[in-house]
Each structure stands twice: as C-alpha cells, then as structure tokens.
Structure 1
Amino acid sequence: MQVISKQMAGETMESLDRTDREILALLQQEGRLSGAEVGRRVGLSQPAASARILRLEKSGVITGYRAVVDPVALGLNIHAVVRLRTTHAQLARALEVAAATPEVTSTVRVTGEDCLIFDVHCPQAGRLEEVVDSLARFGPVTTALVLRGYGTKPLTGAGPGA
C-alpha cells in the first residue's frame, strides 16, 4: 500500500473531516465501490460523495486504484524481506536494479544501519537466491522469509486530535 504524505497538492490530513476519512477507509478496502454506495455508507447523496471523491483525487490524496493480487495464486510461494546496507554512491544503481526486477514488489528507503528494504515474491528458492545475489552487489544484505502476512490497515489520517 502506498503511504500518503501529510501534505499533497495543498490538501493536508488536518483538513480532511471525518466523512473524508471514512471515504478513504472504504475505498482502500473496496476501491470499486460506486459513488452511490460510498454515499450510502457514509450518509451522503451520490452527487455529494462523488464530489468528495473527485476532490480527494484532484488534490492528490487518492493517487489511484488497483487490484490486490494474491502472490501465492500466481505461484509465487516464497515471500521474503531483503534489507540492503549500501553506500550513497551505490544507492541509485541499487534502486535501478530493484525496479528492473519483477520479483521486487516494493522498495522503501529507510534510516538506520540498512538503507533499503525490499519486499520480494519468488516461485522458488533458486530464484530468491538470484534476486538476493543481484542486490548483494551493492552491499551486505539480510534476508528474512515471511511466514505469514497480516495485511494492511486503511490509512485515513486519523491520529491524535483527529
């Protein structure tokens, strides 16, 4: 899931009211809901709900819609988290390799000892080894196999004072 920054195109999380946050939660769980159904669930008319959704899209809070696919259903039975510690000089090239590797499904740049964290889905251990080796050219890697994922929660901007 993409992380939404606190400020995108002039819209801040603080400017979102409870209804906006409810709409965001609904659409993150069920992105194919119609404006009429969103309105019904949050207590608005279809035109009012659709106008709010359009405003959230135009302001950059909603950045797109996508299908969520089960990797195991595609034969990608191995899920690993790979951490890379690299140098600033190697960072751009490591990001290019990760972007060109289909098994790398997400990349996050982090602070601390590691520089990058990759989510990797592979059909078998041999392919995971190849992916890890391709990333290890840029520095030490640590690989952890994922035993079970627990999903994600909707990002609504609700926090202290919300």
Structure 2
Amino acid sequence: MKQWTKLLLLGILSLVFGAFALGNTVVATLAVTTLVGALFLISGGFQIAAGLTGDSGSARIFSVVLGALMALLGLSFLLNPLEGTISLTLLVLILLAASGIVRLILAFRMRSTRYFWPMLITGALSVLLAAYIGSNFAVASVSLLGILMGVELLFNGAGMIALAFFVRTMSQR
C-alpha cells in the first residue's frame, strides 16, 4: 500500500471517529477520562520505578511520592470516571481562562503592532469560552471533553487527507 493511501485511510478513519465522538459526546468524554486515568496510572508506575532505582536520596523520595500521587490520580479517574470528567473539565476551563487572560495582556503590550487585533480577539474569545463553560458547568462537564475530542479528530482527519493528497502529488513528480 502506498504511503499516501495509508494517510488517506487514516484521515477518513479519523473523520469517522470524530463524527462518532460528536454524536456520542458523553461516551466520548468518559473515554477521554478513562484514557487519561490509565495514562496517569502507567506514568505513575514508571515514576515510582525510576525513583526506586535512582541514585540521590532526596530525589528518590520526591520521585516515588510524585509517582504515587500520579498513580492515585489515575486510579481515581478509572474508578470514578464522572468525578474525573468534572476535574478535567475544570482544568480545561482554568487553562482556557488563563491563556485568554495572558493573550489579552500580551495584546495590550503589542498595541502599536499589526498583531494587536488578532491577539486581542483570540484572547477575548478564550475568556468568553471559559465564561460560557463556567456558567454552564453542570451541562458542559459531561460533554465538553467529548466535543473537544470530536472536533480535534475532525480537524486531524481533514489535515491527514490534505497531507495524503500532497504526498500523492509530490510522489508523481
């Protein structure tokens, strides 16, 4: 199978999964929470193993404690996915608000440049999105991560399809 065909199939598959995620946002949100929980649990285990095999005494203790916290967080997400979903949605809300505020501050520092308006608009939109999520938190928390994953899969699929056709065009030259 040619490289561009593999990319095209991957793009189409990503589009299909994106549509599925957007059609079942609550299920997709729980899947994201479960995946994050598993990743935290695995990385916590590796962190503990690295700490136990380390050289320095205080760094070993810190590494083991941090690994244990990560593993406990992952276990918590796996055993209580709804609570994990709420935690992750709150984290997304905080990150959107913080990045929007930082971009607003940067925009006013860039007032005399042509980059002022794009920075101001993107910062304001992030803050408004955070405010919208915060004002509808009960509804948003059970579906937001699924919506974000679905949109990302759609964007990824479209990008992969474009890349596939680009690779095909370049290989025909």
Higher relative CO (Cα under 8 Å, sequence separation at least 6) belongs to 2
- What interval of TM-score do these two structures reach, taking the shorter chain for normalisation? under 0.3
> Under a length normalisation based on structure 1, what TM-score does the superposition of the two structures give?
0.25
